[in-house]
Amino acid sequence: MAPHLLGRLTTALIAPALALGATVGLASAPAQAAVWNSCDQWGNTTLNGYTLYNNIWGSGTGSQCIWANSGTNWGVRADHPDTGGIKSYPNAKKVINKSITSLSSLTSKYNVTVPSRGAYNTSYDIWDTGYRYEVMLWVNKTGAVGPLGTAQGSVTLGGSSWNVYKGNNGSNDVFSFIRSANSSSGSVDVLPILKWIKDTKGWFGNVTIGDVQFGYEITSSSGGLDFTTDSLTVSSS
């Protein structure tokens, strides 16, 4: 699973010129009149404080187009073959740039419409500013997908119960929290999760949280599937 982490570093514009050879075809945008859409491999824009990325980075990809009515109402239509390996991570990013101890709150609400087939997860991807640590929060998953690393038990934090995994992709540590039951809408109190990693487990120190991304890590979506973020908010203070 390590290569997909490099792909999300590209999402964060660490290496926007990285050529991963994806072949991007045309896919249809939604019926509603979106204010922005793109079928470009690295298509991106910023809307009301959120940066949107199409982010097709894997090998053996099909077509994928992203559309947005706003930074918090957007989606993709993806037609990736039923083969192994993550093909893309279309997402919306909110920049935080605050250390854990300087945060008094970090919360998010989500409402998504996702397909019942294919292979993917709906996830938050949270990075420190140095891109040494990555925290993933999977709120739902379908098909043959799984987290990097080894199981660390389960914990109830931030309003949900999670199965926790810890690993390293050769570039950074990865802490994955897989929600024990799939959810298409809800809220996550992110700060207690970060404090649990820092204070209870000691897996990192008082790091500065840079990006909070939310999107769809797609492995396969043969025939064309729609992934819609009906609403999203990421708030910090």
Q: What is the pLDDT of residues 144-193, one digit of tens each?
A: 999 999 999 999 999 999 999 999 999 999 999 999 999 999 999 999 99
Rounded CA-CA distance 220/119 in Å is 5
Q: Say whether pLDDT at 1 is over 50.
A: no
Average pLDDT over residues 15-24: 34
The distance in angstroms from the start CA to the end CA of the chain is: 33
pLDDT, tens digit, for every residue of 52-71?
999 999 999 999 999 999 99
Place of tokens 């949280």: 209
pLDDT, position 12: 38
pLDDT, tens digit, for every residue of 73-116?
999 999 999 999 999 999 999 999 999 999 999 999 999 999 99
pLDDT, position 64: 98
Type and span of the H or E element at 7: helix 2-11
Q: Which domain holds residue 143?
A: 2-232
Residues recorded for the chain: 237
In a domain, 102, yes or no: yes
DSSP state of 123: E
Indicate which CATH number applies to the domain containing 38: 2.60.120.180
Neighbours of 219 (CB within 10 A): 23
In a domain, 140, yes or no: yes
Q: CA 155, 156, 157, 160 torsion: positive or negative?
A: positive
Sheet holding 50-53, edge to edge: 44-47, 50-53, 91-99, 208-220, 119-128, 133-142, 173-179, 160-168, 150-157
pLDDT > 90 in the chain, percent? 86
Rounded CA-CA distance 125/120 in Å is 14
Q: Say whether pLDDT at 26 is over 80.
A: no
In a domain, 25, yes or no: yes
In a domain, 92, yes or no: yes
Number of domains in the chain: 1
Rounded CA-CA distance 53/112 in Å is 17
In a domain, 71, yes or no: yes
DSSP state of 199: I
Task: Collapse the DSSP code of 20 into the 3-class scheme (helix H, G, I; strand E, B; otherwise coil) and give the result.
Answer: coil
Q: Say whether pLDDT at 3 is over 70.
A: no
pLDDT, tens digit, for every residue of 121-138?
999 999 999 999 999 999
pLDDT, position 27: 43
In a domain, 237, yes or no: no
The alpha carbons of the chain give a radius of gyration, in whole angstroms, of 16
Rounded CA-CA distance 234/174 in Å is 21
pLDDT, position 167: 97
pLDDT, position 32: 54
132 has which bridge partners? none
In a domain, 138, yes or no: yes
In a domain, 95, yes or no: yes
